[in-house]
Structure 1
Amino acid sequence: MTEAREGEIALPFDPATTAEDGRVHFIGRVRSPWLSRQDCPKNMTAARERDAQATIEIDPAFRPGLAGLERASHVIVLSWFDRAARNLIIQKPRHASEAKGVFALRSPVRPNPIGLHVARLVALDMEAGLLTLDAIDLLDGTPVIDLKPYFASTDAFPDAVRTSE
């Protein structure tokens, strides 16, 4: 659990301690140079600026699912922020002037700590279950929920904008 900042609001319960019907099975783990939250880049742009590749190790049972992924230049990685708090619904990021709802932020602190990352697929060793990525903004050992090929034709929105705060 993180220390609350001014303007933050916690949920009346901790989603990490309530049982629901969803079942998630991790398919592998991230191997990155980032060992602490202080060292970990805050986003993929910052991760690429550090010029440090990362790998994903896929568990043996899931390796056949990599077939065909070699045709993708980029991959979408869905991760589980296993070391993040899950109880804040309103957060005030350090860099922001005002608090915002968790669904308006990219923070790892969220009721269901799922991360979304788009990375360049540098190499793929299907037999060893290793994906080499150009960069990643995840701590070493972070569980991976799923992988998907990134298709610019359907996944990119050139007209998408972020309005000013």
Structure 2
Amino acid sequence: MFETRSGEKLLETDPETMPLDGRVVFIGRIASPWTTRKTCPKNMRAARETGQPAHLVIDPLYRDGLLGLERASHVIILSWLHHAPRQLIVQKPRHAVEPKGVFSLRSPARPNPIGLHVARLVAVDIDIGRIDLDAIDVLDGTPVIDIKPYFSSTDAFAEATMAGRDESPRSDEQ
């Protein structure tokens, strides 16, 4: 269990203890230079600023799924943030004025701790299941749920905003 801050709220039941209703499988792991939450960048912008590359190692069973991925300049990676608490439903970020529901935050603490990362694809080696990335903002060994090509024509919205944002953009750190 972890300590909550003023204004935070926990779910009555920890999602980790609930019956399974889906069969998510991990297709590989992320190899990153980050081994502690303290040193791990808080978002992809901060990760890129470190100049530290990362890579994914895809399990043999799923490597054929990488065919054609090398054509993408960027990829979307969905990860399972396995160190994140799952019972926190209202959070009070240190830098925020008011508590916020988890679905209005990019924090890893949420009922299903799924991380979303958009990274520049550097290289793909299907034979060894390795995907090289420009950077990543998660701990070494983080499980990978899925990989998708990023399409600027459909995935980017220049007009997107977050009204009244009183905090810096956060990604899915652990």
Distance between the aligned counterparts of 2:161 and 2:76, measured in 1? 20
Map of 1:35-114 to 2, 5 A cutoff? 35-114=35-114
Count of matched residue positions in the alignment of Structure 1 and Structure 2 = 165
**Which runs of at least 4 in structure 1 moved beyond 2 Å after TM superposition?**
none
Work out the percentage of aligned pairs sharing the same amino acid.
Answer: 65
Structure 1: gaps (5+ residues):
none
Shift of 1:161: 1.4
User: 3-state DSSP class of the match of 2:117?
Assistant: strand
Aligned counterparts of 2:31 and 2:158: Cα–Cα separation in 1: 31
Give the equivalent residue in structure 1 for 2:160: 160
| Pairing 1:22–2:7 present | no
Local SS of the residue matching 1:45: helix
Deviations along 1:138-161, one digit per CA (max 9) or x if unpaired, are: 100000000000000111111111
Distance 2:94 2:133 in 1: 28
Q: Tell me the amino acid that sits aligned with residue 134 of structure 1.
A: D
Q: Does 1:142 align with 2:131?
A: no
Q: Which ranges of structure 2 fall in alignment gaps of 5 or more residues?
A: 166-174
Distance in 1 (alpha carbons) for counterparts of 2:133 and 2:78: 14
Give the alignment's TM-score, normalised by structure 2. 0.93
Relative to the length of structure 1, the TM-score reads: 0.98
Q: CA RMSD in A?
A: 0.8
**1:2 Cα deviation after fit:** 2.6
Q: What SS does the aligned partner of 2:120 have?
A: strand
In structure 1, the residue corresponding to 2:146 is in which secondary structure? strand
Which residue of structure 2 aligns with residue 127 of structure 1? 127
